[in-house]
Structure 1
């Protein structure tokens, strides 16, 4: 049996900016506890958050060329990102399920010894057109507060 990769606790600061067509911009900022782990040469950031008393688990594949945000639980979502590209994604919440087209405008990953920043700017489209423009910045540092 192989050895399990180390799971490193991290403190996460998540900032999001969402602009839906014809609406004011929504801003959100959260501080969460999470983990970083490595599997198959890739690094993954994981955390949980509560939404309406239900848990949503998020895993982010940290890759500057091929990142993915995967959410499970109360919300099920898969958002793949490629710089300057469009990728198919999915979103489901209860009985609602949508096929998405994710247009990555910017994708940056900077990592230093015990900290990092993942930043993505993207447009999300469904069958009926543009759902919104999203800016997400996640900074993480080893350890907990």
Structure 2
């Protein structure tokens, strides 16, 4: 293990790296329907102590930007989005998360219960895999999986 708590010998306690981020989110609805979203972006990964901070932006088809910061370590992650979409989600197996989700013309409450959280890393990649239950405004929870692949450049 290195000083960041991980096994990556390249990342030091205060490193900043340019990265490519690939996010794939799958939501399995209670009725059996599946909704999937994928995005790839350039970003910055910073390491401070045991925590990492991933910064990247996405643009929608109409050009509106959403900035994302993911603060994570071996145990949990906090995903904060600002812009066209705004939300703060905490993924921690030991903690329930209730948050608001705001998008153009809508806003609602979501509940998140993390079932499995896994951070894997090697010399050039980090992969964060999160399995969780998501409930919107008290609806039946949907099974979700988000995978965030980070490639160091």
Q: TM-score over 0.5 for the alignment?
A: yes
Report the count of equivalent residues. 139
Structure 2 residue 58 is the aligned partner of structure 1 residue 49: yes
Structure 2 residue 19 is the aligned partner of structure 1 residue 10: yes
**What is residue 25 of structure 1 aligned with on the other side?**
34
* Residues 1:126 and 1:17: Cα distance change in structure 2 (over 3 Å): closer
**What is residue 137 of structure 1 aligned with on the other side?**
147
Confirm or deny: 8 A CA contact 1:84 1:105 kept in the other structure: no
**What is residue 35 of structure 1 aligned with on the other side?**
44
Cα deviation for residue 39 of structure 1 reads: 4.1
Unaligned runs of 5+ in 2: 1-13
Structure 1 residue runs of 4+, over 6 Å off?
Answer: none
Cα deviation for residue 125 of structure 1 reads: 1.7
- Deviation per CA, 1:35-78, whole angstroms, max 9, x where unpaired? 10134642111111112321111111122323111111000011
- Deviation per CA, 1:83-130, whole angstroms, max 9, x where unpaired? 154222221113522232210011111223332111111111233323
CA distance in 2, matches of 1:57, 1:23: 31
More strand by share: 1
CA distance in 1, matches of 2:50, 2:73: 11
CA distance in 2, matches of 1:127, 1:20: 14
